[in-house]
Amino acid sequence: MLAVAAMAAVGCGSAASSGQHDAAGSARQAAANPNLDPGSSLGGTPAPDFSLTNQFGQRISLSAFRGKVVILAFTDSQCTTVCPLTTEGMLAAKDLLGRAGDQVQLLGIDANPDATKVSDVLAYSHTHGLVNQWDFLTGSLPELKAVWKSYAVEVAITQGQVDHTPALFVIDPLGRERKVYLTTMAYASISQSAELLAREAASLLPGHPSVASTQSLAYIPGLSPTSAATLPAIPSGSLTLGPGKPHLVVFFATWLGETSDLRARMLGLSQYARAAPAAGLPGLVAVDEAATEPSLAAVRSFAASLGISPGYPLALDTTGRLADGYGVQDQPWYVLTSGSGKIIWKHDGWLPVSALTTAMRAATH
């Protein structure tokens, strides 16, 4: 899924409750951070109401949540790119509010015109640890199109890929639109986006509850292949990537099991790993994009489900900085780096082992 930014991101982030000076500094940081949308004011216009069906088959209306702050996202139910960043940030924002998070309702509206069944939104909710954390709404295509239009969200299919505006709306307890945010494809900024959302929600709740933790909203640089990066390995130890020798890195996440046979794909890569040394091809490293996982337990459980050692190391990108530095735009995502740390080949999506071997030969010889 490729995101289409149909709305302009303007304005600055909401003020923090820790003091005017700190709030002003955070707003400046957010506005200057290219990987963080500080949000655009919508002026408090009434949010268009709708009635759709959630992942449990229940009919849900927006107006049913009057009295709560609503965080509403448009999410492709089969997305492997930006949507997992959006939904992880939503969940983290609610957690940052502690008990006050009970006064915040998370909603998703399906933005995939080819995957609109209740089973589709349930599958996404399950794989991302959201089943009982939000309502993910779907309906007939005419119903969904009407909601997309009312929120000025563009949805289209381009070259077989779903394109949609990665929009996330904050609606106040009176049902008025306050802010819209556009998710950026930056893994390391998920927690920063969550803090902006939490602050905005807190400013709309009675008593303006405090946000559990604060962090800098300044730009977080990625870890590029020109520098050494040490990652936690699975099941234990650590792994260092960077210059010195070529590396073939495949970025993945356990929730890819929703749209592919992930276990078979990962075990299939063992064929490449076993043949690579004799063929003079770069060794393989698999990196789980832990920043978008529902929990590290999910990663460890998946690794254990492989049953045997896959024949190549598994590591965790817990901060998202490696994915950003390697230019990851989707899951799975292959990157081949040279001994000097230059990216010399990349690929979006699974490849058969034969095609991967052929690509490595062409890239390295």
Question: pLDDT per residue over 124-182, tens digit each?
Answer: 999 999 999 999 999 999 999 999 999 999 999 988 889 999 999 999 999 999 999 99
Region at 128 (left for phi over 0; alpha for psi -120 to 50; beta for the rest): alpha
Per-residue confidence band for 308, with pLDDT thresholds at 50, 70 and 90: low
Per-residue confidence band for 25, with pLDDT thresholds at 50, 70 and 90: confident
Question: What is the pLDDT at residue 13?
Answer: 27
**pLDDT for residue 314 is more than 60:** yes
Question: What is the pLDDT at residue 244?
Answer: 94
C-alpha distances out from residue 42 to 106, 171, 240, Å:
19, 10, 46
- Read off the tokens for 129: 């640890």
C-alpha distances out from residue 224 to 58, 249, 326, Å:
46, 13, 6
Please state the rounded mean pLDDT for residues 25-43.
Answer: 91
**pLDDT for residue 23 is more than 80:** no
Please state the rounded mean pLDDT for residues 84-92.
Answer: 97
Please state the rounded mean pLDDT for residues 280-297.
Answer: 95
Sorted by where each starts, the structural domains of the chain and their CATH numbers stand as 2-204 (3.40.30.10), 229-364 (3.40.30.10)
Question: What is the pLDDT at residue 1?
Answer: 36
**pLDDT for residue 11 is more than 70:** no
- Read off the tokens for 255: 């929730």
Question: What is the pLDDT at residue 10?
Answer: 26
**pLDDT for residue 6 is more than 70:** no
Average pLDDT score over the chain: 91
Per-residue confidence band for 7, with pLDDT thresholds at 50, 70 and 90: very low
- Give SS3 for 237: coil
**pLDDT for residue 331 is more than 60:** yes
Task: Give pLDDT tens digits for 230-275.
Answer: 999 998 999 999 999 999 999 999 999 998 999 999 999 999 999 9
Per-residue confidence band for 31, with pLDDT thresholds at 50, 70 and 90: confident
Please state the rounded mean pLDDT for residues 101-111.
Answer: 98
Q: 197 with 89: CB under 8 angstroms?
A: yes
Please state the rounded mean pLDDT for residues 67-77.
Answer: 98
Question: What is the pLDDT at residue 18?
Answer: 39
Query: How crowded is residue 140: how many other Cβ atoms within 10 Å of its Cβ?
Result: 11
Alpha helices in 280-351 (DSSP H): 296-305, 321-325
- Give SS3 for 196: helix
**pLDDT for residue 185 is more than 50:** yes
